[in-house]
Amino acid sequence: MPKKRDGGGLSKTQQAAKFLGVSVLAGAVLAGLALPAAGALGLTAKGSVEGFDDIPANLKTPPLSQRTTILDADGGEIAKTYSRDRTVIGLKDMSPYIQKAIVAIEDARFYEHGAIDMKGILRALNKNAQTGGVSEGASTLTQQYVKNVFIEEAGDNADKVAQATQQTIGRKVKELKYAIQIEKELGKRKILQNYLNITFFGQQAYGIEAAAQRYFSKHAKDLSLEESALLAGIVQSPSRYDPVNDPQEATRRRNTVLQRMADLKDITQEQADAAAKKPIKLAVSRPKNGCITATNGAGFFCDYIRKVFLNDKAFGKNRKVRLQRWNEGGMTIRTTLDPQTQKSIQASISDHVYDDDPVASAATIVEPGTGKILGMGQSRPYGFRENQTVINLSVDHDMGGGAGYQPGSTFKPVIAAAALEQGTSPEQEYPSPYRMPYPSPVQTCDGEWQGTDTTKNENKEEVGPYAMKEATAKSVNTYFVQLISDMGICPAVKMAQKMGIERADGKPLQQVPSMTLGVQEMSPLTMATGYAAFANGGQYCSPVAIESITDARGRAMKVPQTSCHSAMSKKTADTINTLLKGVVEDGTGKEAGLKGRDSAGKTGTSDSRYAAWFVGYTPNAAGAVWVGDPQHKRKMYNITIGGVPHDKVYGADTPGPIWRDAMTGALANRPAPALPTVPIDDPAKDTEKNQGDDGDKGGKHKPGRGGHGGDNKPGGGWHIPGWPDVLGGGNGG
């Protein structure tokens, strides 16, 4: 019966004999193992061959992790991120000196031997026997490359790194088999190229290009002889031969490499001597890794990009796959961030809120119709020091944000839009008393709400009747409570969902009538994209942050796209435009008005003044500004913000000016189109229309002020459950 042969043509018996001899010798010196004989290694011929055969036939080399560059919309660099600072290059982009130097010092017979250097093993065995220890190893460049592949595959997993570097025969056997495969498949030049790209050179630099940049601020192809010798010398012990921390030891090691190159005739002795006399001249470029290096406050947006990548299925079927792809890096990510907008946001926030203030601020601006995030900033810088944070105050919790903040009255336009969609007239009046109970019961999507809670307006002077325009301009709480009572809660919930307005903690919106006053926590990005639907004729577009991505080979990757749909009719959107223009023209948001361009918006203040907001828009930009305590502990009474003292903070007096200045800079030298609006009559300003008829009969119960009754009959008015039947009517005659 013929002997079984493997792919290389050797019988199993021949393979065993060859491999046993190699493993015994190599195992005695490789990786610092100094063992005297095969018996001490615990290897038998049978055990060695079976273990050898059990190793998979092909070494799966993971893609080398590289730097990823994140760019703004104009192509300017925001930041570089990496788990390994590495740029993979070809041999043509490496100085010939570094190629010769690394071979000379690490594996002088690299081009002469196969995967295993038998002469080197015998030499090392003899040397170690003479010294009685382990003074010399015999690992080839190919074997070192295989070990580095295992380390690279381990990534940041400490246990796997330990396994990849452990001093065991099992690892040595595995390394030897793969080295044989690699030599056969790749050839010497490719192995050398891969080795120089994967090797660690200290100072967080992986691969020769990153090392050249780190130590000399130049490309690998431009390395001189002495620079190449220095870097080649570092590989054996990056900490010991670190030229930054120990230039004397690094110089001695460099000169050892130079002499070795001369001995091998790679350079002349004169060249080696001349280079050895030169002092080390470093031009160190410190590592600049991660979002913390971003300028103009874009660190939080940079971190948001990473969260988008890890959360979106466009980049992989599950989070593990996406995380692995992110760590591989090598991508160029072009984002939607507009540098003019980003700079304006950060400048405005910095002018109005200081990083050491007792409260913080965050702002986001998006583009209506596209969902593009144009800018994202906050008062507390990105970092880990005092008055810094890595929590993105502009976004939801699952995207790196906190628990969100009550938007207050900025939620009222959502209620108004829902009512208009249900057929309510913007001229609808309600008595709007200073204080009133929440009407009960109120319909929800799956039943009804019942309760005994009450609400009140900001000021005692705020007493109706009011119609929708004036109630919106003055932000009258009781008007909108009556509105949601008549409409029901479900239409409001569905409108919020269609506008992408959801809770920052990811929980469903609570179906309670108090939702009309913005008591459920949300993020600035959510509010900005929701309001953008008003500016976009009722069309909501989900937020997007990435324009395009190319991988390390320059190939385009699929990126998530915005999803647009109709949240409301154009008529409703245009009506909301009219209502919210009134807010900035002569309502609570006058401090936020823009000069020379149409704008609309709404102020908001939460319960107990833990948060204050302004959310507004023009046809080409929508933005939300929040000011408050992220911990929901500091009430904004008797407080100084940005050097300005406040008895109490309103949406108009701090968020409003931040929004105004941020939008002014963002839109400078850009078109100023008009907001489409519709005419709205204000019954409160038309006494002839608003008053019921005086006379023998009572008021006609028109949806306005009741008339004075005749013949001792009460005037017209409104009925609110739990309150007198007549509110707003005249006295009986």
What's the whole-number mean pLDDT along residues 239-249? 95
Q: Which residue would you say has higher pLDDT here, 669 or 168? A: 669
Residue pair 343/296 in contact by the 8 Å Cβ criterion: yes
What's the whole-number mean pLDDT along residues 333-359? 97
pLDDT value at 288 more than 90: no
Rounded to whole angstroms, what are the CA distances from 107 to 104, 117, 143, 393, 428? 6, 9, 10, 54, 88
Q: In the prediction, which pLDDT does 665 show?
A: 97
What's the whole-number mean pLDDT along residues 564-590? 93
- Report the C-alpha gap between 250 and 229 in whole angstroms: 10
User: What's the pLDDT band for 139 if we cut at 50, 70, 90?
Assistant: confident
Q: In the prediction, which pLDDT does 180 show?
A: 86
- Report the C-alpha gap between 282 and 242 in whole angstroms: 11
Q: In the prediction, which pLDDT does 85 show?
A: 86
User: What's the pLDDT band for 699 if we cut at 50, 70, 90?
Assistant: very low
- Report the C-alpha gap between 280 and 262 in whole angstroms: 19
The DSSP-derived string for 322-370 is: HHHHHHH---EEEE---HHHHHHHHHHHHHHS-TTSSSEEEEEEE-TTT
Question: How many whole angstroms from its chain centre is CA 508?
Answer: 24
Q: In the prediction, which pLDDT does 598 show?
A: 94
Q: In the prediction, which pLDDT does 29 show?
A: 38
Closest by CA to 361, choosing from 372, 370, 350, 369, is 350
- Report the C-alpha gap between 316 and 123 in whole angstroms: 50
Q: In the prediction, which pLDDT does 709 show?
A: 37
What's the whole-number mean pLDDT along residues 198-202? 94
Of all residues in the chain, the percent with pLDDT exceeding 70 is 80
Residue pair 643/541 in contact by the 8 Å Cβ criterion: no
User: Token digits for 268?
Assistant: 């002349």
Q: In the prediction, which pLDDT does 249 show?
A: 97
Q: Which residue would you say has higher pLDDT here, 554 or 693? A: 554
pLDDT in tens, 388-426: 999 999 999 999 998 899 999 999 999 999 999 999 999
Q: In the prediction, which pLDDT does 235 show?
A: 96
Q: In the prediction, which pLDDT does 687 show?
A: 46
pLDDT value at 614 more than 80: yes
Closest by CA to 303, choosing from 379, 383, 365, is 383
User: What's the pLDDT band for 366 if we cut at 50, 70, 90?
Assistant: very high
End-to-end CA distance of the chain: 124
Backbone angles phi, psi at 539, to 5 degrees: -90, 120
* Secondary element (H or E) of residue 231: helix 225-234
3-state secondary structure of 693: coil
The DSSP-derived string for 576-622 is: HHHHHHHHHHHSTTGGGPPTTS--EEEEEE-GGGSEEEEEEEETTEE
User: Token digits for 110?
Assistant: 């690299």
**Burial class of residue 688, CB neighbours in 10 A (0-12, 13-18, 19+):** exposed
Q: In the prediction, which pLDDT does 134 show?
A: 40
Domain chopping of the chain, boundaries: 411-513, 688-733
- Report the C-alpha gap between 683 and 284 in whole angstroms: 73
- Report the C-alpha gap between 193 and 208 in whole angstroms: 10
What's the whole-number mean pLDDT along residues 88-93? 95
Q: In the prediction, which pLDDT does 716 show?
A: 37
User: What's the pLDDT band for 126 if we cut at 50, 70, 90?
Assistant: low
Give the contacts of 70 (CB within 8 A, at least 6 positions apart).
Answer: 77, 78, 79, 80, 81, 302, 305, 333, 335
Instruction: Name the least confident of 103-112, 364-373, 417-426.
Output: 103-112
Residue pair 441/730 in contact by the 8 Å Cβ criterion: no
Q: In the prediction, which pLDDT does 167 show?
A: 66
Residue pair 379/635 in contact by the 8 Å Cβ criterion: no
What's the whole-number mean pLDDT along residues 98-103? 97
- Report the C-alpha gap between 610 and 682 in whole angstroms: 33
pLDDT value at 551 more than 80: yes
User: What's the pLDDT band for 95 if we cut at 50, 70, 90?
Assistant: very high
What's the whole-number mean pLDDT along residues 44-64? 53
Closest by CA to 156, choosing from 337, 328, 357, 288, is 328
Q: In the prediction, which pLDDT does 121 show?
A: 58
Q: In the prediction, which pLDDT does 646 show?
A: 93
Rounded to whole angstroms, what are the CA distances from 583 to 462, 579, 586, 615? 16, 7, 6, 11
User: Token digits for 191?
Assistant: 């192995």
User: What's the pLDDT band for 123 if we cut at 50, 70, 90?
Assistant: low
Instruction: Name the least confident of 84-88, 173-177, 595-599, 717-721.
Output: 717-721
Please report where in the chains the tokens 């300017």 appear, as a residue.
Answer: 76
- Report the C-alpha gap between 592 and 582 in whole angstroms: 12
User: Token digits for 704?
Assistant: 């306005």
What interhelical angle do 188-198 and 96-106 show, nearest 10?
Answer: 90
pLDDT in tens, 5-21: 333 444 443 443 344 44
Q: In the prediction, which pLDDT does 685 show?
A: 54
pLDDT in tens, 453-466: 899 998 899 998 99
Of all residues in the chain, the percent with pLDDT exceeding 90 is 63
Q: Beta-carbon neighbour count of residue 513 at 10 Å?
A: 26
* Beta-bridge partners for 181: none
Q: Which residue would you say has higher pLDDT here, 541 or 595? A: 541
Residue pair 611/408 in contact by the 8 Å Cβ criterion: yes
CATH of range 411-513; options 3.40.710.10, 2.40.30.160, 3.30.70.1450, 1.10.3210.10: 3.40.710.10
Arithmetic mean of pLDDT over the chain: 84
**Burial class of residue 668, CB neighbours in 10 A (0-12, 13-18, 19+):** exposed
Give the contacts of 596 (CB within 8 A, at least 6 positions apart).
Answer: 672
User: What's the pLDDT band for 691 if we cut at 50, 70, 90?
Assistant: very low
What interhelical angle do 524-535 and 412-421 show, nearest 10?
Answer: 40
User: What's the pLDDT band for 625 if we cut at 50, 70, 90?
Assistant: very high
pLDDT in tens, 429-439: 999 999 999 98
Rounded to whole angstroms, what are the CA distances from 256 to 247, 252, 262, 272? 14, 6, 10, 10
pLDDT value at 53 more than 80: no
Q: In the prediction, which pLDDT does 579 show?
A: 96
Residue pair 336/544 in contact by the 8 Å Cβ criterion: yes
